[in-house]
Amino acid sequence: MSKGGRNRGQKNFIPNQKQIIVNPVAKQSVLDKMIDGREFESLLSHRFTNVNILDEIRRSIAEIKAVRGNEVVCYVANVVKQTKVSVSIDYQDDLPFTELINTLPTNTKELDVILVSPGGLSNQVVKFVSKLRPRFERVNFILLNMAMSAGTIFALSGDEIIMTHSANIGPIDPQIRKPDGQFVPAQSILNLVEEIKERGDKAIKAGTNPNWTDLTLLKNIDPKEIGYAISGTKYSEKLVEDYLYNYKFKTWTKHSSNGNTVTDEEKRKRSKDIAKLLANHSEWNNHGHAITREDAWDVCQLKITHAESIGLDKSMRRMWALFYWAFENTSMAKIFVSDYYCLIRNDIQTNNTAK
């Protein structure tokens, strides 16, 4: 990395007046205080001052790069504590993510994306993917903790997904905003309508009237909500199906069970089956259900690379402990960072700073 590249990153580190304060010289290191196996707990007995958080993150990136040999970008949201600003994937992320990618060396062929996200807008995920896939031969996702909902869709656009035993993805059924402003899973609306229909059909066949409570529930469901639920679910399923087929299954040529050649029809069917399963509210019962790497394989037949199998587990644990500490002790809400770029969104409603 050239000295000029790092300087460009430092300049980009000051997007607004509420930006985190980072001292130019690090007098203490969070990473150096970590003890293997209890990375976060080992930090709690220390009172840190004058920590250059950007340098610490870039040191952690260097540990990942030493194992992987690829360029690394971090798109990480604060899922540790509640913030006044949104930490979801949204349209405000488009420009900083674009700059994050554009500042990478032009000869970069394979990219590792460090991702932590509670979810957000699938439309914005499409824009992210459109910036990554035409440029790089391979895009891999390293999941430190959670990548839920739209974050799951984003991760499934990768050639490889790497997870520790404590990381998770989640169901992809979209959320529908109700008139009171609350969000509900689209599939829960559709499942309720289907259950009411089944009970009503049984009652009519038995010569009785449908249940009054069911009729009241049905009357209170806005038909537009049903339409949004149907179209939103189909959209999420189609994105995942296409991403898996075009990228994750691109190099899937042999069945692990018998060594037979994988046909194009089998790739498409597996992609469709996984997409439908991830969008099926009846399977997971909760939009926030944490799908572990074991569940991804056992239930969905989706292969996940185990971090410890490629010597990456320690580096990933250290990076997540660093971010966890930063989220607890600073006002960081979301970060876009690489060796060449850094922009941090602060929780502007707080007075917290990192020193």
331 domain residue, yes or no: yes
Domain boundary, last residue among 262, 289, 316: 289
| Per-residue pLDDT at 21 | 44
Q: At 326, which CATH number?
A: 3.90.226
Domain extent at residue 240:
173-289
Are residues 152 and 13 located together in one domain of the fold?
A: yes
CA distance 162 to 143: 6
Q: Lowest mean pLDDT: which of 133-142, 193-202, 250-259?
A: 193-202
| Per-residue pLDDT at 16 | 39
Q: What is the mean pLDDT of residues 278-304?
A: 84
Please tell me the pTM assigned to this model.
0.81
Are residues 316 and 265 located together in one domain of the fold?
A: no
Are residues 155 and 29 located together in one domain of the fold?
A: yes
And the tokens for 349? 């409603």
Q: What is the mean pLDDT of residues 264-286?
A: 87
| Per-residue pLDDT at 131 | 97
Whether 241 shows a pLDDT value over 70: the answer reads: yes
| Per-residue pLDDT at 269 | 96
The mean predicted confidence, pLDDT, of the chain is 84
CA distance 176 to 100: 31
If pLDDT is split at 50, 70 and 90, which confidence band does 26 have? very low
| Per-residue pLDDT at 208 | 82
Are residues 28 and 165 located together in one domain of the fold?
A: yes
- Give me the residues paired with residue 147 across strands: 117, 169
Are residues 162 and 177 located together in one domain of the fold?
A: no
Tally the domains of the chain.
Answer: 2
Among 318, 312, 315, smallest CA distance to 33 is for: 318
Mention every residue, 6+ apart, whose C-beta is less than 8 A from residue 157: 125, 129, 132, 133, 139, 243, 247, 248
pLDDT per position as a tens digit, 30-86: 999 999 999 999 999 888 888 899 999 999 999 999 999 999 999 999 999 998 888
pLDDT per position as a tens digit, 183-217: 556 666 666 666 767 777 787 888 887 777 766 66
353 domain residue, yes or no: no
